[in-house]
Structure 1
């Protein structure tokens, strides 16, 4: 099921209260990704994003995706507390209604030189298509996903090959995440062939799974950016996100 977020000029795949599974610009609109040259603490990152979006002449409701960095993987309780804090700003901006959150997100934990507090790495927002010709395929951002099955159980109950870091265990984790990305892409009407970037987050060797699980399915159509970072919850080991964004800047 896909829903429209008319105030932001994008569609989204409903997910959990803290983020959606992916977003896609509506016809006549595009997505711009803005990466910060240096990590900014959460409140400062939101403030900088607001200034940038408003300077571009857009409403704050056009904020559609963000990429965060946290000091270390959270416990389940810690992750819930962080998310409850995170969505307060989205509520103030008229994006989160208390139940449904259209904003896609990735939140990972650098293994080396992590930030002292949860911080912004990048954000994306929707803007009108300019006068220049644009590809017929709409821009989109697919939220990050690690190797946890959906459902209501605890993370240990849902994690694929829980605490199994063997080559076979890692390969199954990678395969699961790639299939989840494919499902989210399909939910918005896309496939790997439409992506302009794919990012992987892990501190473990996954090269033995690269050819069959990433290259052959098409996930590395535009290469692969590997961030030496952990997914946001303890015992998750491999995460991926992807996007089609034709305009990206660093500020």
Structure 2
């Protein structure tokens, strides 16, 4: 890992109130388009990419996944690479049982390209053991949970966080869907409370959809260490483009 990537990694793992890392989701279906988009990200000095393997038309071929990871290795020397398999219950594209999900994680474990593996906490019966297994390989783990129908109340959010946090993954990610502006405020306050209670804990929180756009821009203030923005295609509702987010984050930081 070179100095550029190490600095980006440290910025996330220290969990400080800094300008959030901007991550671009890669949601193309074909191999050539995936490789081309990641190369474009490199040329645009993108800080991090998240490959959504569930969008890949050959997701059921471990060999094809390995080929993609090897093909983009040189393009990701100066950016973080997050490997994500999102299942349908968590807003993804594919249905997978735990055995096959672990097989896809294993491809990432063995790849030199991957820095973080996003793991769905409640898709694994023994999430703690799987987190530890992945970490022993040298990879970092983002333990995640998505609520696409609602923003739970404060106590439920806290309970979800505690379950994710207890896995001892490197980063905790929680994304929720707001029904009104109060839900967005609820998510931001929850993020702030978590950072007050666990100041060294890296967290990613997102209020999704158009209502929640502000949550993608206020990480430096409330404590979310990473935000998602697009090159073109969205992987979740409410995402802005990388250039838009970068400009807004810089304005907030300077202020």
TM tier, shorter chain? 0.3 to 0.5
Choose between structure 1 and 2 for higher RCO, CA contacts under 8 A separated by at least 6 residues. Answer: 1
* TM-score normalized with structure 2 length: 0.36
Question: Greater strand share, 1 or 2?
Answer: 1
Question: Greater helix share, 1 or 2?
Answer: 2
